[in-house]
Amino acid sequence: MSGAPILELEHAAVRIGGRTIWSDLSMSMREGEFVALLGANGAGKSTLLRAVLGATTLAAGEIAVLGGPPGRAGAGIGYLPQRRSFSAGTRLRGVDIVRLGLDGDRWGLPLPFGFGRAAERGRADRARVAEVIELVGASVYAERAIGELSGGEQQRLLIAQALVRRPRLLLLDEPLDSLDLPNQAAVAALVARVCHSEGVAALLVAHDVNPLLPYLDRVVYLAAGHAVEGPVAEVVTSETLTNLYGVPIEVLRASDGRLVVVGQPDPPAHHHDRHEHASGEHAHEHAHAG
Amino acid sequence: MPAEAGPQLTWDVAHDVSELFEYHFMINALLAGGVVALLAGAVGWLMVLRGEAFAGHTLSMMAFPGAAAAALAGVPGAWGYFVFCGAGAGAIAGVSGAGRRSWGEQSAAIGSVQALALAVGFLFVNLYGGVLGDLESLLFGDLLGVSDGQVLVLALVTAVTLLALMALARPLLFASVDPDVAAARGVPVRRLGFAFLLLLALAVGATSQITGVLLVFALLVAPAASAQALTARPLASLALTVLLALLIVWLGLGIAYFSVYPAGFFIATIAFAIYVLARSIAWLRG
């Protein structure tokens, strides 16, 4: 797929507290591309997102986000942080959560009525919120309290929230975490559809590549401080993954042509101890081996 | 004070209501009660949404050492209320705001602040020597003894608080329900949290002078919790919160006028009844 470069890294490295998280990472993303960022816990996947957001500076190499330095992209980036879901007691509707993504950082109250440009802007904002909720297929339940919705329904609304300001780059930090398998596939399909129909580039962090494989354009693997990047067909092979992880990994082709990766060192698990992420993921991470 | 003459409830509702407005103290009570309902309703709505009811309760308790300290120092009680509520907001932000703690850790930290506040208040009462004459009105309020000056101060504080809330409304709401994304958008989540605690302290300080330490919390929490149980629409539940708060205060005052029992009892009881009713309706709806 061709298009304008959205994200480019060349020989990039990040060091935190004297430890090299990863080095010699080169990758590029173009408009409409769906890229998965894979690797075990502690491999530095969230660190890469933070570097793209401008929250972590590189120790070496170059990075360009939407053609400029990171941290300047503003509404050009839609970011969905890693998180637990909304608690059952959150008494705001899904549509309100999406609306906050649009103008929640503006001071003052939105006037429910107004004249001229104010009224026009209010109508346009409501229309944009409805449009993006329709895009992710959440219209049926967007009027319900977000805390009452299932994990998959909440995740769709959060993707709508990340999309509402028409970003060109979508950063999704483990959106499949804590979803069951059918919902993982559904959310992956949704992200792929949005990429291709809206021309948005999406970088999605995940543990398990399998639910994503049918939809991805490219993959980035981080392991043991190294990175491997490229199209699915080139990177997702038994040889490359075995070399990367240092343990035997098999990539099988099912009878319908689909790839299945067997023997990843970090099987998908449900995580309930992620609150320390705001201060940096490196201190406490360890493999949750089921 | 409830009139010794003993106003009689008749079947003529118009007559009964008009009798409520015959005395200046009653007009002041209804006026102050209305402003309190507006203030406590609006601030309480955000407090409940943010899950900070325990912080609100602790700030309410700050009025106790505040009033005792003012009596000890010989300054107007209002100073004590505002100074100690503000200090309480600072203490709560200090012990619970550093880093991102779990709710369990935060509530333990806030509980420690509350225990200290009560102990300090008790010490001040002891140092004061005699009986703190206003102890009963400190706890249960003196809605029927509100002066014109108190109504004015209350209206002023309410105007300032509501204007500040309106200016902060959207980022505060964003930071309250979705702090991670809000922070990524450049919303100063922690500073807004502290600003809200200060506004809560201001509201509690002004309100508890009139409703008493124990009653202010009922008005902060019950109308908001009831309204949010009934609807998830933000504007609708905010409006419903204020309406319920007005209903609770005015109905309580009206009943108390014709009764020998204190207004605070009726206000807290009606607040609780409305909350139970709202939860029942929400439960029946599934």
- Residue B157 lies inside a defined structural domain of this protein: yes
Residue B261: CA atoms inside 13 Å, Cβ hemisphere, count? Answer: 8
Q: What is the DSSP string of A72-107?
A: --GGGEEEE---PPPPTT--SBHHHHHHHHHHTTS-
A111 touches chain B (CB under 8 A): no
Answer yes or no: is B158 within a domain: yes
A11 touches A188 (CB < 8 A): no
Subunit contact A92:B186, Cβ cutoff 8 A:
no
Q: Which residues of B touch A54 (CB under 8 A)?
A: none
Q: State the Cα–Cα distance between residues B242 and A120, nearest whole angstrom.
A: 29
Which among B151, B215, B74, B181 has a CA at the least distance from the CA of A82? Answer: B181
pLDDT value for A12: 94
Q: How confident is the model at residue B212, as a pLDDT?
A: 83
What local confidence, expressed as pLDDT, does residue B3 receive? 46
State the residue range of the domain holding B188. Answer: 23-213
CA-based nearest residue to B148, from B262, B34, B233, B31: B31
- B256 within some domain: no
* Beta-carbon pairs below 8 A across chains A and B: 80
* Contact (Cβ atoms closer than 8 angstroms) between residue A49 and residue A33: no
Q: B184 and A279: CB-CB below 8 Å? A: no
Q: Judge whether B274 lies within some domain.
A: no
Whether residue B166 and residue A109 make contact (CB cut-off 8 A), yes or no, is yes
Put simply, whether B188 touches A (Cβ < 8 Å) is no
For chain B, 286 residues long, the average pLDDT of each consecutive 10-residue run is 60 81 88 95 95 92 89 87 93 74 81 93 84 67 85 94 94 92 89 95 91 86 96 95 96 90 89 97 90
- At A221, which helix (H) or strand (E)? strand A218-223
- Between A80, A106, A145, which is nearest B170 by CB? A106
Q: What does the pLDDT average to over A6-32?
A: 92
Provide DSSP, A9-61: EEEEEEEETTEEEEEEEEEEEETT-EEEEEE-TTSSHHHHHHHHHTSS--SEE
At B270, list the tokens: 């009606």
CB A236 within 8 A of CB A260: no
Which CATH number goes with the domain that contains B68?
1.10.3470.10
Predicted local distance difference test score (pLDDT) of residue A193: 94
Q: From the list B166, B174, B228, which residue is nearest A104 (CB)? A: B174
- Residue B138's pLDDT is 73
pLDDT digits (tens, 9 = 90+) for A24-65: 999 999 999 999 999 888 889 989 999 999 888 999 999 999
| Distance set, CA A79 to CA A53, A98, A202, A258 (Å) | 9, 13, 10, 30
Integer Rg of chain B from CA: 19
CA B260 to chain A, closest CA, distance in angstroms equals 39
What's the number of domains chain B is made of?
Answer: 1
- Cα of A103 to nearest chain B Cα, Å: 8
Tokens 């409409």 belong to A32
Whether residue A271 is predicted with pLDDT greater than 70 in this model: the reply is: no
Of A165, A109, A90, which is closest to residue B170 (Cα–Cα)? A109
Question: Which element (helix H / strand E) includes B12?
Answer: none
Per the listing, tokens 């170059």 go with A62
B170 → closest Cβ in A89, A109, A161: A109
Q: Are residues A106 and B233, on separate chains, in Cβ contact within 8 Å?
A: no
The number of beta carbons lying within 10 Å of the beta carbon of residue B185 is 20
Share of chain A above pLDDT 70, in %: 87
Contacts of A91 in chain B (CB under 8 A): 49, 228-229, 232, 237
Q: Which helix (H) or strand (E) holds A284?
A: none
In a domain, B257, yes or no: no
Find the range with the poorest average confidence among A162-166, A238-242, B141-145, B165-169. B141-145
* Residue A39 near residue A209, CB atoms below 8 Å: no
Confidence (pLDDT) at B77: 83
Judging contacts by C-beta atoms under 8 Å, the chain B residues touching residue A83 are 180
Is B209 inside any structural domain? yes
Contact A105 B51 (CB under 8 A): no
Answer whether residue B268 is part of any domain. Answer: no
31-60 in chain B: CB under 8 A from chain A: 49, 51
pLDDT tens by residue, A69-122:
988 877 899 999 887 678 888 899 999 999 999 999 988 876 656 667 778 888
Residue of A167, A134, A137, A264 whose CA lies nearest to A212: A264
Q: Please indicate if any CB of chain B lies within 8 Å of the CB of A104.
A: yes
User: What DSSP character marks residue A108?
Assistant: S
Give contacts of B 103-162 with A, CB under 8 A: none
B32-71: burial string, b at 16+ Cβ within 10 Å, e else? bbbbbbbbbbbbbbbbbbbbbbbbbbbbbbbbbbbbbbbb
* B270 domain residue, yes or no: no
On whether the CB atoms of residues B216 and B204 are closer than 8 A, the answer is yes
The reported pLDDT for the residue numbered A265 is 60
User: Coil, strand or helix: which one is A148?
Assistant: helix
* pLDDT of the residue at A282: 39
d(CA B15, CA A53): 68
If residue B166 lies in a helix (H) or strand (E), which one and from where to where? helix B148-177
**Among B141, B143, B139, B149, CA closest to B27:** B143
Q: How far apart (Å, rounded) are the C-alpha atoms in residues B66 and B82?
A: 8
User: pLDDT value at position A276?
Assistant: 38
Structure tokens, A230: 């490229």
